[in-house]
């Protein structure tokens, strides 16, 4: 049997002008001094053994991949990462993540250099906030809280999901002043006293703060918080004897005024006052809502 003759296609210079090949193909010489094709990205040598047209079709998928790589690559430098991190921090502090898509476009619109432009959208911005900034500030707070006496303010929410918000107040050695800052927002399975106390202990343990260092706790006047025997304060008081309870001033005033009204004013007076206020608020809101419509009707712009 006769072996099939191997055919080697010589390199042709017009390949460098081909719209599909010119972005990644370059010519070099091999050890024998022959011209061979080389990829600019993968640094690979190609020796064509068939006709140019067949080889062109065969390598079309690789070419598309390389072109996509060249068009999508961006300068991943420390400067670009710093810009993205700074913009993510600004978004977390002053606005909503939903606006970052348009904010990034507005910033890039004024930049002419492609290397200065940022590629930051909602998904990436959220990931930077959750996975970069949140652990960073948590570590700073954990370090600043070590050994410090503190107080907490707590409030539960049961509107849509059961959550417990915790704010901590302590003297910061880093800033040399008393600081009041957000500590955590904890998901609760139940809004009873045991679940709330357990959530508080878990958060304090995560921030490496001792429960015994708690000096005070601020709550509303709900029975689950201030119950004499089974409230949150009563349960924590058993473990922290010096703990002080600070009731919410707004809730306390509302209860005092309501109690006084029941004793010294007619029974329906509080109802009349509250309903009058509600009616007035709805009336003002309705007038503001339809103000433009009334104006258009008076000007004869609508039928």
Q: What is the pLDDT of residues 211-267, one digit of tens each?
A: 999 999 999 888 889 888 889 999 999 999 999 999 888 888 887 887 887 777 777
Q: How far apart are CA 249 and CA 92, in angstroms?
A: 30
Query: Mean pLDDT for the chain?
Result: 78
Q: Are 20 and 60 in contact (CB under 8 A)?
A: yes
CA atoms within 13 A on the CB side of 82: 4
- Per residue in 269-303, pLDDT (tens digit) is 777 777 787 777 777 666 666 666 666 666 665 44
For residues 152 and 232, the answer to whether their CB atoms sit within 8 Å is no
Tokens of 122: 């909602």
CB distance 236 to 214 below 8 Å: yes
Q: Is the pLDDT of residue 19 over 90?
A: no
Other C-beta atoms lying within 10 Å of the C-beta of residue 277: 10
Q: Can you say how many angstroms the Cα of residue 174 is from the centroid of all Cα atoms in its chain?
A: 26
Q: What band does 141 get if pLDDT is binned at 50, 70 and 90? A: very high
List % helix, strand, coil for the chain (3-state, nearest 5). 50, 15, 30
CB 176 within 8 Å of CB 239: no
- When mean pLDDT is compared across 76-80, 108-112, 122-126, 166-170, the lowest value belongs to 76-80
Residue of 108 and 149 predicted with greater confidence: 149
Please tell me the predicted confidence (pLDDT) of residue 39: 67
Q: Report whether pLDDT(206) > 80.
A: yes
Buried b (16+ CB within 10 A) or exposed e, 44-65: eeeebeeeeeebbeebeeebee
Q: Indicate whether 209 pLDDT > 50.
A: yes
CB-facing half-sphere around the CA of 190: CA atoms within 13 A: 7
Q: What is the pLDDT of residue 190?
A: 84
Identify the pLDDT of residue 50.
45
DSSP 147: T
Distance CA 47, CA 9 (A): 7
Res 74: pLDDT: 45
Could you tell me how far CA 96 lies from the centroid of its own chain?
A: 9
Whole-prediction pTM: 0.58
At 215 the three-state DSSP class reads: strand
Above 70 in pLDDT, residue 163? yes
Model pLDDT for residues 51-83, shown as the tens digit of each residue: 445 555 555 555 565 555 555 544 455 667 788
Task: Tell which wins on pLDDT, 42 or 270.
Answer: 270
Q: Give how far Cα 243 sits from Cα of 44, 200, 283, 290, Å.
A: 72, 14, 47, 53
CA distances from 180 to 145, 156, 172 (A): 12, 18, 10
Nearest to 221 by CA among 179, 243, 249: 249
């Amino acid at each position: 049997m006769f072996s099939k003759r191997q055919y080697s296609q010589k390199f042709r210079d017009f390949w460098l002008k081909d719209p599909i090949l010119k972005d990644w193909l370059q010519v070099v010489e091999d050890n024998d001094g022959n011209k061979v094709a080389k990829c600019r990205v993968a640094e690979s040598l190609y020796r064509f053994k068939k006709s140019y047209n067949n080889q062109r079709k065969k390598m079309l998928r690789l070419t598309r991949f390389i072109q996509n790589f060249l068009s999508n690559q961006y300068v991943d430098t420390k400067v670009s990462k710093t810009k993205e991190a700074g913009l993510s921090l600004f978004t977390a502090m002053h606005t909503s993540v939903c606006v970052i898509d348009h904010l990034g476009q507005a910033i890039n619109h004024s930049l002419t250099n492609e290397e200065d432009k940022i590629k930051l959208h909602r998904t990436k911005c959220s990931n930077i906030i959750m996975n970069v900034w949140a652990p960073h500030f948590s570590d700073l707070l954990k370090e600043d809280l070590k050994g410090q006496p503190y107080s907490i303010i707590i409030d539960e929410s049961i509107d849509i999901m059961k959550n417990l918000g915790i704010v901590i107040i302590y003297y910061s050695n880093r800033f040399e002043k008393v600081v009041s800052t957000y500590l955590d927002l904890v998901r609760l399975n139940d809004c009873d006293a045991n679940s709330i106390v357990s959530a508080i202990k878990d958060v304090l343990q995560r921030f490496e703060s001792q429960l015994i260092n708690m000096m005070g706790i601020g709550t509303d006047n709900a029975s689950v918080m201030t119950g004499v025997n089974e409230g949150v304060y009563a349960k924590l008081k058993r473990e922290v004897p010096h703990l002080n309870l600070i009731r919410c001033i707004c809730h306390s005033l509302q209860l005092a005024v309501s109690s006084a009204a029941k004793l010294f004013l007619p029974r329906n007076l509080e109802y009349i006052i509250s309903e009058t206020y509600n009616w007035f608020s709805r009336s003002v809101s309705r007038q503001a809502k339809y103000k433009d419509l009334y104006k258009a009707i008076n000007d004869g712009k609508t039928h």
